[in-house]
Amino acid sequence: MRDLLMLLADGGFYSGNDLGRQLGVSRAAVWKRIQRVTGEYGVTVQSVPGKGYRLSQPLQLLNRDVIQQALPALPIFMYESIGSTNDQAKQLLGTYSAPLAVFAEHQTQGKGRRGREWVSPFAQNLYLSFVWPVTEGLNQIDGLSLLVGVAVAKAIKRLSGIDAQLKWPNDVLIGKRKVAGILLELIGDPVELCHVVIGIGVNLNMLDSFDSIDQEWTSLGKEMGGTVSRELFAKTVLEELAHYLEKQKNHGFSSIRAEWNELHAWQGANVNLHIGTNIVSGQIVGIGDKGEICLLVEGEERKYLGGELSLRLQNDS
Ligand code: BTN
């Protein structure tokens, strides 16, 4: 499929004969592949009599060799279409040792936080799972999901000059809209060797509106008014991630806390923290050394960490 998509990637017209010749298959086989690309990957291919086939919008496919330049020793696994890069990363961990990274062009079952779907159209965004071994005890997990947000925000800044902001624990926003989401999964026994699967989804060139997205979203391309190089973003985010993970491992999350607070979208805001069915109302003071959200509640500072917590503004206008 990749060969066919590479030929069509520029969005130009290609006849069935041309494609068949270049791929070394018959016109009928080309047609069958076009059907698969449409059905399995959700890519729209137009067929115009007398002109041939063309993609409804040009595609940038990821090249592993280019991304590998960021971290030459890192095992990188690339897929065209899989369920979820997080699930694939967990499977690979049975055979390969971490750290390792998994990229996909398309996810059929992209997972978001709190059981949500993560919409993952083909070759438009970044879908990455990075597996990080926890070798220094549980302190290494403190604030981990928050530092990933910092890494993504820094990558956005380096690539576009745009100041993204963070919403606790790890939503990455531009203005009030979500541009990236992070899903961490802990694998193994936390008192023995365990691994963290760090799933990162960044909306890069997504333009369409998808009914299943029930939050305000944007993409970096929309914000920049152009097209983002997916490879360049993938390289940059890997570099930033490796930098912050090492910093956390060597100096703890407290060494990154100030940077997180600088990027904090809701510092000082009045919020409701939803804890299961309970709601705590307070004012955000900042985050603690373990990545907890610190709220001023009835004159007293309280800290909340992890689990199914969700933060909402009290006056969201
Ligand atoms: C969120 O709800 O904010 C978290 C979204 C995380 C999405 C990424 S995309 C790569 C990785 N694979 C998944 O299935 N989910 C994460």
pLDDT of residue 188: 87
CA 202/CA 68 separation, integer angstroms: 19
Q: Which of 103, 58, 84 is nearest to 227 (CA)?
A: 58
Would the CB of 199 count as within 6 Å of ligand 1?
yes
- Ligand 1 centroid from CA 12, angstroms: 32
**Could you identify the atom of ligand 1 that is nearest to the CA of residue 83?**
14
The dihedral region occupied by 70, where left means phi > 0, alpha psi between -120 and 50, and beta the remainder, is: alpha
Would the CB of 183 count as within 6 Å of ligand 1?
yes
Token pair, residue 137, equals 């005890």
pLDDT of residue 276: 84
Give 172-209 as a 3 state SS string: EEECCEEEEEEEEEEEECCCCCEEEEEEEEECCCCCCC
CA 132/CA 186 separation, integer angstroms: 10
Nearest CA to ligand 1 atom 3: 181
pLDDT along the chain (317 residues), means of 10: 92 95 95 93 92 92 96 97 97 95 97 92 96 85 92 97 94 95 89 90 85 82 94 98 95 93 93 90 92 94 82 76
Is residue 231 packed enough to be buried (19+ CB in 10 Å), middle (13-18) or exposed (0-12)?
Answer: buried
**Could you identify the atom of ligand 1 that is nearest to the CA of residue 110?**
14
Test site for ligand 1: of 183, 214, 218, 308, most ligand atoms within 8 A of the Cβ? 183
- Ligand 1 centroid from CA 128, angstroms: 8
pLDDT of residue 142: 84
- Ligand 1 centroid from CA 109, angstroms: 10
Nearest CA to ligand 1 atom 15: 111
Identify the helix (H) or strand (E) that includes residue 104: strand 100-107
Token pair, residue 130, equals 């990075």
